[in-house]
Amino acid sequence: MKLKLATAILLLGALILATCESASNDKLEEDLQQSKGLDEKEDNYLLPGLDHGLLQSPINILSEEATTGGHAITLNFTGEVDRVQNLGHTVQLDLDPGNTISMNGKTFEFKQMHFHTPSEHLIDGITYPMEMHVVTTLKDQPKSEITEYLVLAFLVRMGKENKFISNFIDQIPKEEGGNNEIDLNALTDSDSSNAAKLLKELNAYYHYKGSLTTPPYTESVNWYVMKKISEASPEQILRINNIEGDNARHIQAR
Ligand SMILES: [Zn+2]
């Protein structure tokens, strides 16, 4: 398990050490202002009573509007996935908080990863059948402050079986609220031969400041949406969608 997960995390690390592309908020805003008038139903997705600001997520990322930014990021991942949960609204893997990621001098702790079907973020107007979020929070943050998040987002299209997902998909509890320890002995490092190739492919992402996409929609999220689209088999995506339903938030006006 350690080897297997280390491979997955190596891939994450490669992304993070690579050049960062920062979506231009001004241009995104311009574009979204234009499209807002076309869709009067937009307001239907805002819940009353919540303080919606200007940093809501997800968004439609315009690849041509992205500009290059510079973020000094390092990754320190030594732990394991502990268990897989069926939360009803999503499938979630719990991560050991002892593992960290650093960005611009701030250290974030790994919390969990989960799935959305279909994708929440769009790239150039395209929705993908699935999106995976790796959620981390700022380490040692005073409780009086709003929690700061760093979320890695992986868009997934239909294609080849995803070996990372196949490692736990049979252990997702059938009943909502259930959780299973992941069988560490069942995992191997068979993906390692592909790791070098993937390291090169997974080397860029879009970055913007946004919000959680579930209540309370807190606007303190550093989003990193990978440019490389991952793959999973139609069966894998369907199985996860059958468990969690359609759980993607609509893109938000800015
Ligand atoms: Zn999410």
Give residue 142 CA to ligand 1 midpoint distance, Å. Answer: 24
pLDDT beyond 70 at 133: yes
Q: Would residue 253 count as lying in a domain?
A: no
To the query of whether residue 52 is one of the catalytic residues in this protein, the response is no
Residue 116 contacts residue 130 (beta carbons within 8 Å): yes
Computed over every residue of the chain, the mean pLDDT equals: 74
How many angstroms does the Cα of residue 213 sit away from the middle of ligand 1?
A: 6
Instruction: Give the Å distance between the CA of 185 and the centre of ligand 1.
Output: 28
Q: What pLDDT sits at residue 81?
A: 61
> In sequence order, what are the residues at sequence separation of 6 or more whose Cβ sits closer than 8 angstroms to the Cβ of residue 102?
72, 73, 74, 75, 76, 108
Ligand 1: centre distance to CA 54 (Å): 19
User: Is residue 250 one of the residues assigned to a domain?
Assistant: no
Give the three-state DSSP class for 253. Answer: coil
Closest CA to 149 of 109, 115, 119, 89: 109
251 assigned to some structural domain: no
Residue recorded with tokens 């992986």: 154
Q: Is the pLDDT of residue 194 over 60?
A: no
Cα of 139 to ligand 1 centre, how many Å? Answer: 20
DSSP β-ladder status, 66-69 and 20-23: antiparallel
Of residues 60 and 96, the one with the higher pLDDT is 60
Query: What's the token pair of residue 155?
Result: 């868009």
pLDDT tens by residue, 143-171? 899 999 999 899 999 999 998 888 788 88
Residue 175 in domain: yes
What confidence tens digit (pLDDT) does each residue in 49-77 have? Answer: 445 577 999 999 988 876 545 555 565 65
Is 252 among the domain residues? no
Name the burial class of residue 197, with classes exposed (0-12), middle (13-18) and buried (19+) by CB atoms within 10 angstroms of its CB: exposed
Q: How far is the CA of 97 from the centre of ligand 1 (A)?
A: 18
CATH number of the domain bearing residue 12 = 3.10.200.10
Mark residue 127 as left, alpha or beta (left: phi above 0; alpha: psi -120 to 50; beta: remaining): beta
pLDDT number for residue 66: 66
- β-bridge pairing 91-95 and 205-210: unpaired
DSSP state of 221: E
Give residue 116 CA to ligand 1 midpoint distance, Å: 6
Residue 87 lies in a domain: yes
Residue 254 counted as domain residue: no
Instruction: Name the token pair of 237.
Output: 């995506």
Q: Which residue out of 52, 71, 89, 250 is catalytically annotated?
A: 89
Could you tell me if residue 77 is inside a domain?
yes
Domain total of the chain: 1
- The domain of 116 spans 2-244
Is pTM, for the whole model, over 0.85? no
Range list of H helices, 167-214: 192-201
